[in-house]
Amino acid sequence: DIVVTQSPLSLPVTPGEPASISCTSSQRLLHSSGYNSLNWYLQKPGQSPQLLIYLASNRASGVPDRFSGSGSGTDFTLKISRVEAEDVGVYYCMQDLQVPLTFGGGTKVEIK
Amino acid sequence: EVQLVESGGGLVQPGGSLKLSCSASGFTFSDSAIHWVRQAAGKGLEWIGRIKNKPQNYATAYAASVKGRFTVSRDDSQNTAYLQMNSLRTEDTAIYYCTRRETFIDHWGQGTLVTVSS
Query: For A2-26, how does the pLDDT look when each residue is reduced to its tens digit (9 = 90+)?
Result: 999 999 999 999 999 999 999 999 9
Cross-chain Cβ contact A48/B50 below 8 Å: no
Q: Give me the residue from A49, A60, A104 closest to B108, CB to CB.
A: A49
Write out the E strands in chain B.
3-7, 10-12, 18-25, 33-39, 46-51, 60-62, 70-75, 80-85, 94-101, 105-108, 112-116
Tell me whether residue B37 is exposed, middle or buried, using C-beta atoms within 10 angstroms of its C-beta: 0 to 12, 13 to 18, 19 or more. Answer: buried
CA distance B41 to A100: 21
**What dihedral angle (degrees, nearest 10) is formed by the CA atoms of A80, A85, A90, A96?**
-40
Q: Check residue A61 and give its pLDDT.
A: 96
* Residue B79, pLDDT score: 98
pLDDT of residue B105: 96
Q: Radius of gyration (Cα) for chain B, nearest Å?
A: 13
Provide the pLDDT for residue B9. Answer: 98
DSSP-based three-state secondary structure for A45:
coil
Average confidence (pLDDT) over A42-56:
98
| Cβ-contact B85, B93 below 8 angstroms | no
Residue A99 in contact with partner chain B when CB distance is under 8 A:
yes
The mean per-residue pLDDT over the stretch A31-37 comes to 92
What is the average per-residue pLDDT within B32-56? 98
CB proximity under 8 Å: B 2-31 to A: none
Nearest CA to CA, how far is A82 from chain B (Å)? 24
Using the Cβ of A74 and the Cβ atoms of chain B, whether some distance falls under 8 Å is answered with no
* Interface residue B52 vs chain A (CB under 8 A): no
Residue, of A33 and B62, whose pLDDT is higher: B62
Check B108 against A48: CB less than 8 A apart: yes
Do B112 and B21 contact (CB within 8 A), yes or no? no
**Phi-psi region at A34: left, alpha or beta (left = phi > 0; alpha = psi -120 to 50):** left
For B110, the closest of A39, A48, A101 (CB atoms) is A48
Tell me what pLDDT residue A52 has. Answer: 98
User: At B78, is the pLDDT very low, low, confident or very high (cuts 50, 70, 90)?
Assistant: very high
How would residue A53 be classed by pLDDT, with cut points 50, 70 and 90?
A: very high
pLDDT tier at A58, thresholds 50, 70, 90 = very high
Q: How far is B5 from chain A (nearest CA, A)?
A: 12
